[in-house]
Structure formats: C-alpha cells, structure tokens
C-alpha cells in the first residue's frame, strides 16, 4: 500500500489522520506477527540468509501497474512456494489479522489495501511455522533479489513481480512506514512478510520480521487485466 492511498488499489487519498490510524494498526501488526507457536522446526538463524539488495544488481524494468483484481494464488518458484491467498482484515486491536494457524499453508492478503498488480504496495503475510511443522513462509528468508514472484489474480491474469530487496527488521525497531510504504511512485509493489530472528520462549514471540520486497515486471494471462504495457512511466 502506498502512503496516502488505500482501498482496493483505487488510489483514493487518505487524510493525515486516517493514514496515521492505519499506520498504527500496521505497526501493531508488525509486532503481533512475531508472536507464534515456535515449534521445533523454527529457523532459529535462518534469516541470516536475508541479504538485502546487492549494489549494482541488475533487475528488469518496472511494468506499468495493472487494473485492480483480487489475488487468488502466489508462487515463488525458487523457494518451492505455491499457496492460495485469502483476504484478511484488521482484528479487534487494529492489527492485520494473519491466516489462522489452522491454515498454515495459506497466505494472507490485506484486503483493504492495494490489490497486487495495481499501483501501490500490496501486503502478503504468512506464518513461518506451527508447533509441529514448517508453514508457508518457512523459507522466505532465503529469497534473493532477482527472484520471481507470481500472483494469479481473479481476472485470470498472472502478475509477475521481481524481488528487489530482502530485509530483517528487529521486533523493537519495526519501521512500519518503510515496510508498508511504496518505495517508488508509480510502481506496483508487493511485500511478503513473516516471522524471523529467533523464538523467545519466555515471551512467546519471534525477535524479528523478514520482509521481502518486489515490484511488478510483467503480466501474463487475460489481456483485460492491464490497461497498458511497458515500463512504468513510459
């Protein structure tokens, strides 16, 4: 989602107060998502693999944003991830509600925010593990810049994103604006977020969040999904 827009990727401007409220809720979620069962499968040091964006990394040009359409499935071939996407809202505390632990292999999409492929930053969240088994985003910290993320949308199109950044944000210094805000104006962007760091059994929480950022670089499938083709801004 972009700072200053919300609601089904429509680009409607939020007032300063509304954005502040939403940002607070997302910040709370950023803290809450680190809470989890912390099973024996938890990757206690797995996010050391999160390397950020190497200087001079060659990435494809951005594709023009698409018309809004809800996501149905997400795939990250290099990580072996292929999962259904379910819309999620805010819980009673104002935090984004991730999929329940009974759905460990589903990915949650913040449905009142940007729709993947539309301009802004769409938010995908998923668990790293359960008490007994790895969950959908267990290997997310191994993502690398240049990796492909495919999002199948309700209109039959597949929005193709390219990873450009992988970061680990400590729980106590979670930067909601940096995580959720649009990185470059005019782009369609995607954030994939899960727990990271180590599991603190005393507090029952993870110590960090892994955040993978990607931007739209192509589209396949239904031609009605896109109003234009080519690089963003051209």
Domain that holds residue 119: 5-225
At 56, the pLDDT band (50, 70, 90 cuts) reads: low
Domain count within the chain: 1
pLDDT > 80? residue 87: yes
197 with 28: CB under 8 angstroms? Answer: no
Q: State the pLDDT at residue 202.
A: 78
Lowest mean pLDDT among 55-59, 121-125, 161-165, 194-198: 55-59
Is residue 189 in some structural domain?
Answer: yes
Three-class SS of residue 31? Answer: helix
Query: pLDDT digits over 203-222, tens only?
Result: 777 888 899 999 999 999 87
pTM of the entire predicted model: 0.77
Residue 186 lies in a domain: yes
In a domain, 47, yes or no: yes
Instruction: Decide if 234 is inside a domain.
Output: no
Facing residues of 206 across strands?
Answer: 199
Does residue 156 sit within a domain?
yes
Q: What is the mean pLDDT of residues 133-147?
A: 94
pLDDT above 60 for 45: no
The owner of tokens 């896109």 is 226
Q: Give pLDDT, residue 6.
A: 32
99 within domain boundaries: yes
pLDDT at residue number 89: 85
* CATH code assigned at 88: 2.40.260.10
Q: Looking at the domain assignment, is residue 233 inside a domain?
A: no
Residue 232 lies in a domain: no
In a 13 Å sphere around the CA of 24, the CA atoms on its Cβ side amount to 8
What's the pLDDT tens digit per position in 13-22? Answer: 334 344 444 4
């Amino acid at each position: 989602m972009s700072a200053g827009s919300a609601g089904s990727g429509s680009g409607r401007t939020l007032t300063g107060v509304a954005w502040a409220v939403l940002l607070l809720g997302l910040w709370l979620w950023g803290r809450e998502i680190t809470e989890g069962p912390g099973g024996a499968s938890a990757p206690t040091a797995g996010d050391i693999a999160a390397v950020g964006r190497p200087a001079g990394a060659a990435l494809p040009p951005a594709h023009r944003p698409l018309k809004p359409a809800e996501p149905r499935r997400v795939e990250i071939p290099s990580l072996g991830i292929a999962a259904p996407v379910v819309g999620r809202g805010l819980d009673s505390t104002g935090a984004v509600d991730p999929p329940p632990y009974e759905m460990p292999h589903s990915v949650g999409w913040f449905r009142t925010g940007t729709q993947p492929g539309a301009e802004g930053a769409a938010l995908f969240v998923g668990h790293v593990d359960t008490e007994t088994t790895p969950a959908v985003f267990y290997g997310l910290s191994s993502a690398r810049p240049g990796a492909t993320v495919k999002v199948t949308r309700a209109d039959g199109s597949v929005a193709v994103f390219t990873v450009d950044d992988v970061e680990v944000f400590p729980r106590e210094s979670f930067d909601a604006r940096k995580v959720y805000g649009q990185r470059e104006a005019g782009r369609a962007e995607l954030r994939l977020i899960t727990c990271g760091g180590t599991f603190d059994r005393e507090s029952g929480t993870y110590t960090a969040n892994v955040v993978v950022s990607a931007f739209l670089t192509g589209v396949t499938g239904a031609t009605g999904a896109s109003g234009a083709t080519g690089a963003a801004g051209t």
